[in-house]
Amino acid sequence: MQHIVVATDGSPGANRAVDAAARLAKAVGGELVILTIGGSISGAELRKLASASGDLSETLETSANKVLEQARKRALRAGVTEVKLQTGWGDPAETILNTVCSEKAGILVVGRRGRGRLSGLLLGSVSQKLASLAPCAVMVVP
């Protein structure tokens, strides 16, 4: 069975990537692996946590699960039956590549631009890195 990995951060661009990956998975009858990279939280949210009773690990886990759950719903709406959810931590490009290898994915689907716009401009975007380094076909959704 063909494995299709799609990376999402919940942004509109990533949502389009999830829709495209879901249509593809349905067409080829493959398993869709939805991956999100946890750990994106603003300074304001952190400061709020520092003065309240919230737990950062829980917040990160919840926020990653929320992104995955939204993506799963989108995929199911598109008609995919087999969806696997995964959360990764650390450098996005490296984590996505590791998942592609561990899942033996045939296709990787990513959005052209996620939430990290500034770092994308300064360092080169995640999608650019993936397109050059991934060991499989990469579909970049505009």
Partner 1 sequence: MRLFQHFPLHGGHPLTSRFWHAASPFWRTDKAWGLAIFLLLIVLLQLLVQVLLNLWNRNFFDALARKDPYALWFQAELFVPLAAASILLAAASVWGRMTAQRNWREVTTSHVIEKWLAHDRFSHLNHHMIKGSENPEYRIVVDIRVATDAPIDLSLAFFSSIITSVTFFVVLWTIGGSITVAPFGWPVTIPGYLVFGVIIYSSLVSVLMIVFGQHLTGVIERMNQSDAEFRAAADAFRGNENAGGKTGDGERRQTLQLKLQATLLWWRELLWQLVRTTFVSQGNVLFAPVVAWFLCAPKYLAGAMTLGELTQAAAAFVVVQGAFNWLVDNYQRLADWRSSVHRVATLLLALDELEAKERANGNHRNAAS
Nearer to partner 1, 56 or 133 (CB): 56
Instruction: Name the one range near partner 1 by CB under 8 A: 18-26, 47-55, 111-119, 126-134.
Output: 47-55
Nearer to partner 1, 44 or 142 (CB): 44
- The SS3 call for residue 71 is helix
Among 2, 16, 23, 39, binds partner 1 (CB under 8 A): 39
Return d(Cα 14, Cα 2) in angstroms, integer. Answer: 21
Nearer to partner 1, 74 or 87 (CB): 87
Return d(Cα 39, Cα 60) in angstroms, integer. Answer: 6
In sequence order, which ranges of the chain are alpha helices (DSSP H)?
12-28, 43-50, 56-77, 92-102, 117-123, 126-133
- 88 lines the binding site for partner 1 (CB under 8 A): yes
